[in-house]
Structure 1
């Protein structure tokens, strides 16, 4: 039998994260799937896996670097990382809460990616950074949108995050003057930062496939699962495209559907 694929999913206790676990658990792949469902509580979701797949549970707070370090010290040979965990404080946004969103959604995702990449992942490992239709740069000023699309390093992305937080602390007018648009905006900016991070990681790690699906309202688990274990080339554009016969080199690209109610497996799109 083929070696098990070990897949770590963050934020698996609810919503799309739970949907990802459920879909992976019943997917018959060429290799058995060991699915590690993580959350801050480490709760057992009671998901029944179709043999030979198995689901395990673990505590992980991506906003805490010590928690990330402890997790990766206990888990070896991760083949796939699906970064789904995140928060949204737009409804009650204050400068502190906006910074909390950037810390968890962007910096936590960045730290998870770097922890995996520093752990000597298997060749052809995959990282899936769950994005959102909120990542679109249409409402940003042209110069600021260009900064997101032209990042060369993680330091460039960090700098954009710092610029945004600095502007938030100066007030709504400062945010608009800095090119980020009118608040509340922390969730949208965090997802744009994740997209920019994904571009950099794909460029710097040629042996790792790095993708970013949007978080849709219906069938939201499909695109993350396709990017995690499925075929990424033209054959994967069909709803049955979960094979691995050929994988076009599309690392770093943004996968999406036609709209939030589209139930498909996604295609490469502009963000």
Structure 2
């Protein structure tokens, strides 16, 4: 792979203090970029950075960030602007899930954090993506549970079935209608699907919409936008059920972040460096996971 980056290249990884995010930070830092590791918990975030520094990766820095807090996002963006002038790579890794019995407030929080928080951060950072010959990169860490087969409302499936059909108003309506259903209770919410599925379906649709929005930017101002399924990685968020190593789970996102401009796709959903369907053909078996304890990242 042709090396277009340097220590002046700035990457931000949200939820970078453990698991998939931590490994993404490690791999990018090992390549020589400046990597901003963010986490809600400042103590845990600084501890992670201290370990990297002990390992010689002094190009990793920490800043607190709670993507669910507009004020935290604003403070973070202002710090990025004053410290670096902007960024080259944004890896949206921070997310939460809920694998326990249905609770309306928890289900709503999952969608608020994973979709609204991620979207707000991304929109805030868009003006801070630095112009460059290589182009800027936005990567959303998603999941195969975001495939549209897991959305139980046929009318919404149709609205989200292709980049030419997806609109922000359609995403807003799905979000608002799911929140209203979750406020009523489990029976209404389950007519849409599992909260984590809904949150990541919204993220995937937003990926396609954003890729379309920025597709016609001129040379020197390109932005490549993609989402990634890392696989069932052996992390706290997957309740350590086993699966692939975090090193392998982080691989596709890091690969996308560092591809040469001429080889960089946009608007794709990828797994193991290959495109996968946004639609899917096998629904996720939520019931098999319901008894597992709640985990967050």
Residues 82-102 of structure 1, C-alpha deviations (whole Å, 9 max, x = no match): 000010123143111111111
Partner of 1:161: 175
Residues 49-85 of structure 1, C-alpha deviations (whole Å, 9 max, x = no match): 9889711111000000000010010113111000000
Partner of 2:19: 15
Say yes or no: does 1:215 pair with 2:215.
no
Distance 2:40 2:229 in 1: 23
Distance 1:64 1:245 in 2: 33
Counterparts in 2 of 1:126 and 1:100: CA distance versus 1, 3 Å: same
TM-score scaled by length of structure 1: 0.81
**Secondary structure class of the residue paired with 2:139:** strand
The number of aligned residues is 240
Distance 1:49 1:226 in 2: 25
Partner of 1:203: 212
Unaligned 5+ segments in structure 2 are 216-221, 234-243, 279-297
What is the Cα deviation at residue 136 of structure 1?
Answer: 1.8
Query: Which residues of 2 match residues 137-216 of structure 1 at below 5 A?
Result: 137-141=148-152, 142-150=154-162, 151-177=165-191, 180-181=192-193, 185-206=194-215, 207-216=222-231
Partner of 1:71: 76
Query: Which residues of 2 match residues 1-271 of structure 1 at below 5 A?
Result: 4-27=8-31, 32-42=32-42, 43-44=45-46, 45=48, 46-48=51-53, 54-75=59-80, 76-119=85-128, 121-123=130-132, 124-141=135-152, 142-150=154-162, 151-177=165-191, 180-181=192-193, 185-206=194-215, 207-216=222-231, 217=233, 218=244, 219-230=248-259, 244=260, 246-248=262-264, 250-257=265-272, 266-271=273-278
Counterparts in 2 of 1:67 and 1:176: CA distance versus 1, 3 Å: closer
Distance 1:53 1:59 in 2: 18
Following TM superposition, the consecutive aligned residue runs of length 4 or more in structure 1 with deviations greater than 4 angstroms are: 48-53
Higher helix proportion (structure 1 or 2): 2
**Secondary structure class of the residue paired with 1:112:** helix
What is the Cα deviation at residue 12 of structure 1?
Answer: 0.5
Unaligned 5+ segments in structure 1 are 231-243, 258-265
What is the Cα deviation at residue 176 of structure 1?
Answer: 4.7
Distance 2:130 2:189 in 1: 39
Higher relative contact order (CA 8 A, sep 6+): 2
What is the Cα deviation at residue 14 of structure 1?
Answer: 1.1
Distance 1:79 1:245 in 2: 12
Counterparts in 2 of 1:115 and 1:49: CA distance versus 1, 3 Å: farther
